[in-house]
Each structure stands twice: as structure tokens, then as C-alpha cells.
Chains A and B, each alone.
Chain A
Amino acid sequence: MIKILKCHKGVGPKVRGEALVADDNFSTRYDLDRIKGVFSRPQHKLAGKSYDQKILVLNTAKGGVASAWMLYEMAAQGITPKGILFNEANTILVQGAALANLAMCDRFEDGDITTLITSGQTIEIEPELGEVRILS
């Protein structure tokens, strides 16, 4: 059965993909090896995991402003998440997603999104509607 999670209206296109979930935060500069497409910061809960073509499900954004340009460059290189869901986004990640045309949503009605989705599930995001569907 498809489970529907409602959230605030987001940015970016409708996408479908495999979820990669952690109760941790996110910065493209601090956490990623963007050439290999993996989480590189040893302390990150997804350290060593590939984020390429995944839908990341994380708590919030951290760190600096570089992520805005970096999301655009990652999209251009084709080694990029398909979308990102946060409990709470920060301004930088939303600005970057808007430029990169990356799907991004936050503020879920049912609570902590990192506990509502598990890694490996196939999910679909429809930012315009503020809706995430768990397909399997």
C-alpha cells in the first residue's frame, strides 16, 4: 500500500528514487566527496555511502553557503542526489535546489521524516503538492 506523507510545498520537479536515510545533518562542502559521489566525512552516519541518484532523507542542513553553488555543479556533472528531504531545510540548500532544479521538501506533518522512511525504500516526491509517497 502506498503511504502518503504531507509536507510544506517544496522546490524542484517530481522525482522517484531510492531513499538513503540518516538521523544526521548535511553540508555538501563538509560531508561529501563530490568527485566519487560518496559521503566522505568520517563522523557522518552515511560515511562511505554513495548518494548518486538517491533521495537523501536527513535532519537539517549545516555549515556554510557553498552548498548553493555546489548543488548546481553536482547536477551539471550528473553525480547528484535526485532529491533531498529534511525535517528543516536551511536557506542555502533551498537556494541551491532552486538553481539546480533539484527536488527538495521539508516540514513534515507526521513528525521526524528520518524515522518515517527507511533506506532502500522507493519514494516519490511531488514538491509542488507538498507530498512524498512511499511506494515500496
Chain B
Amino acid sequence: MHLNDEEQAMLAGKYGKAKQWAIDHQLKVGSFFDATDMVSVSQAHMMADPESVGEAGVHFMESIANDGGRVAIPMITDPRGVDLNYYHPLGQTEGMANIERRFVAACESIGIMMTNTCVNYQTIMPPLLGDHVAYGDTGVVIYSNSVCGARSNFEGGPSALAAGLTGRTPRYGLHLDKNRQATKRFQVTSQPSELTDWGVLGAVIGRMAGSYWEVPVIEGIETVPTSDEMKHFGAAMASYGSTPLFHIVGITPEANDLAAVGGTALPSVKITDNDLSALRSDFGGKGDRPDVVVFAAPQLSIVEMEQVTKLVDGQNLKIPMIVCTSPQTYGDAKRMGFVSKIENAGGTVLEGTCFYQQGAREIGEANGWVRLLSNSAKIVNILGGYGYKPALASMKDCVAAAIEGKIN
């Protein structure tokens, strides 16, 4: 792998230990994936919740800070694992909160902006077509690659940090034109109509795509989706398939037509109603009483916050309902009265977190929550491994279940 003079100096330790670690880490990862050199990136975005980071990860971040590490480019963060204004009632421990506090302090010392969001493409600064970035949340990466036409691999916490410190990343995977061409072609036969439909469709395609290195191209979408619809579609696809990029013919910027993404010779696979119902059938639960209703994964936009607010306004929820949104949206939602209306109905709005990143197992055990209902195809996929029996329904049906105490 070719390193230029500046990168060689980083590796030799001339810019300090933190940058030396970062470039060495990038060299190891780049060599694994046959990168020939580095590419400059305009932003980095790091995922790091206390559950995944743990004591070891916090200690590591503190050592980077103590070694004088400073970011070279704008660097932002994914949702936190603890809303420090609201964690005792959820059953989160002081130990988790302390890891969170230490991690935040280390990040701030390194110069990282604590944006705490997985919807930065809606709230912070969406990347442009061809913009090389180092993003660290699968939902962020797939949206940015596919909808914005930016170029990022999935950058796990350590690699996003390395990119923030060096201002570059190894040029492999989706930074290269050849890996952005379609490898699997899907024909949609039923038009999705609301967010959960989009999530289910994304999940089915993700499962069929099946690997990080497959790029689905999708035909048959008849109307231009909203940003929230693309958000649920992409987040679910990335969750079920580890998929970082898709194209929708006539809609996403690299796929003006099928030929533009090299898809004309690919055999076409129809997504049938049976495929969609089979996925939904894994997350049934009709007639059951949910223990908790969760809106998260990804964090809600201001439009979704308004939609939830309209559904709960004036109601009296029988079931706990948790709504996760970004700090940027939270401020607006509070100012517009959405937060107070949700809280008056009995719901809880968390700021800068996402439920599955909050130590979901411990929260479930502390509250006796097993039957979890959500409109997010992504979160129901994740939480099966955390001791929950997740169920999936539209936002409207989720709120109805919280009001009635039963999934209909």
C-alpha cells in the first residue's frame, strides 16, 4: 500500500502517538482489502455506545486523548447509549452512565462534535455526490452512499476514529467505482405505502442480497420516496444484509437507468407479496399485550415526531412508549410542543440515543419487557438476540396498541 510523505511521517510517529496508531490501523485494514493508497475524506462519523465500547474501549479512547490526539476533519457521533437526563427510570445503571460520561469527555478532548445522531444526513450536513466520507453507522452509510451518492465503507468505531485523526481512509470497497456497480437485480411488484412497508421491502432485499459485497439494483418503484421512507428502507436492508449500497432505477443519483449501474445483463428477481409476508410473519404477535412500544432505529425526523404526536395527542397510553430522536430534532420538537404532547399521553422522548444501543438486554430485564412492538424492521431484527419477542406494525398500529393494550 502506497503511503505519501505525510502518511509515512504519521507512521513514523512524527505527528504523535495517536496519529501513529491511526495510520497503522488503516494500513492493516487497507492491506486486508488490497487498498493501493489512501483517499482524503471530508467528514468522519463514529458509532460508540457503552455496551459495545465497554471498559476496554473507553480506556482506549482516553489513551488516544492523553496522547494528544486531535481530529483533522469535522468528526461527529452516532447516538449515545445513555440519555444522561433519563436513565434511572429505564433501569440503566450508574456504571453504564459513567462509561458514557468518560467516553464523552475523551471525545470532546479529541475535538469530536457530540452530535449523537444516526440521521446526520437529515439534520447535520448531508454529503454530496462523489464525496468521500468515513461514516460509522450502517443506516448512515447506506443512505449516504445510495441516496446522496457519497462514498463510504462501513467504518466501525475504531476505523472512523482513525479516519478522523488522519483525515483519510484506505481506498477500498465503495470508494472504488468498480464496487459500486450492481451485482443483483430486483423487481418490485407491490408499491410500499408507509414506513414499515419500506422497512420490510428493504429487509427482504437485504436478506436476498446477503453480503457486504453485493449491490442490489431495484426496478419498479413508481413514485419518488420521501427521505424518511428511504431511511427505513436502507436501515433495514443494511441490518438484514450488511448491505452498504443500493440503487433504485430512475430515483437514486447513480442509477439514471439500469445500464448506468451495469445492471442490464443481470437476471431479475421478483419480490413477491409472499416474500414480504414471510418476513412479517417472523414478527407477528396479533392479540398479544405488548410490554413496550418503541419508535427508534433510526432516530425520528421532525416529520415522524409530528406524526407520532398527532396519533397520541389527547390519548392515555396503557403501555410504555419510547420515542428516540436526535438532539437536533429534539430541540425543534420541544419548541413545537411535540415532546410535551407525547409525554402528556404517557410516552417518553429520549434525546440523542437509540433504544437498541442502550443496553437493551439490561433495560428489558429491569422492566420485565419481553414483547416489544415497533414500526422499525431494523430494531425487530436486532432485538431477537437480546431476549425480546419483537413484533412489527405500522406507526399507526403501534400507537393503537399502546392505547388499547393489545396488538391488533
Contact = CB atoms under 8 A, between A and B. Distances in A.
User: Are A and B interaction partners?
Assistant: yes
A68 B25 CA distance: 12
Interface string A84-110: 000011111011101100000000000
B213 A63 contact: no
B48 interface: yes
Interface residues of A, number: 40
A95 B56 contact: no
Interface in B206-249: 210-213, 238-242
A11 B49 CA distance: 25
Contacts of B381: 30
B156 A60 contact: no
A73 B57 contact: yes
Interface in A40-83: 40-43, 60-70, 72-73, 75-77
Q: A62, A73, A90, A91 — which one has the most chain B CB atoms within 10 A of its CB?
A: A91
B48 A69 contact: yes
B348 to A, nearest CB: 23
B338 interface: no
A60 B212 contact: yes
Contacts of B157: 65, 68-69
A124 interface: no
Q: B51, B154, B238 — which one has the most chain A CB atoms within 10 A of its CB?
A: B154
Interface string B1-29: 00000000000000000000000010011
A133 interface: no
Contact of B211 (A40, A42, A60, A77): A60
Contact of B31 (A9, A61, A64, A77): A9
Q: A42, A90, A95 — which one has the most chain B CB atoms within 10 A of its CB?
A: A95
A91 B57 contact: no
A90 B51 CA distance: 21
B155 A91 contact: yes
A43 B385 CA distance: 9
Contact of B159 (A25, A64, A68, A77): A68
B407 to A, nearest CB: 21
A65 B155 contact: yes
B384 A88 contact: no
Contact of A91 (B25, B52, B212, B387): B212
A64 B32 contact: no
A8 B238 CA distance: 25
B121 to A, nearest CB: 16
B60 interface: yes
Given A41-B385, A68-B159, A92 B55 contact: no
B254 interface: no
B56 A72 contact: yes
Contacts of A42: 384
Given A10-B32, A29-B382, A61 B55 contact: no
Nearest to B206: A62
A131 interface: no
A65 B32 contact: no
Interface in B30-59: 31-33, 47-49, 51-57
Contacts of B239: 63-64
B153 interface: yes
Contacts of B240: 62
A11 B159 CA distance: 15
B28 A88 contact: no
A99 B52 CA distance: 14
Interface of B: 25, 28-29, 31-33, 47-49, 51-57, 60, 136-138, 153-159, 173, 210-213, 238-242, 357, 381-382, 384-385, 387
30 contacts: A9-B32, A11-B29, A60-B210, A60-B212, A60-B242, A63-B239, A64-B138, A65-B137, A65-B138, A65-B156, A65-B157, A66-B47, A66-B49, A66-B51, A68-B157, A68-B159, A69-B156, A73-B57, A76-B54, A77-B56, A90-B212, A90-B213, A92-B156, A94-B32, A95-B29, A95-B156, A96-B156, A98-B29, A98-B32, A98-B158
Interface of A: 8-11, 25, 28-32, 40-43, 60-70, 72-73, 75-77, 88-92, 94-96, 98-99
Nearest 3 Cβ contacts at the A-B interface: A68-B156, A76-B56, A73-B54
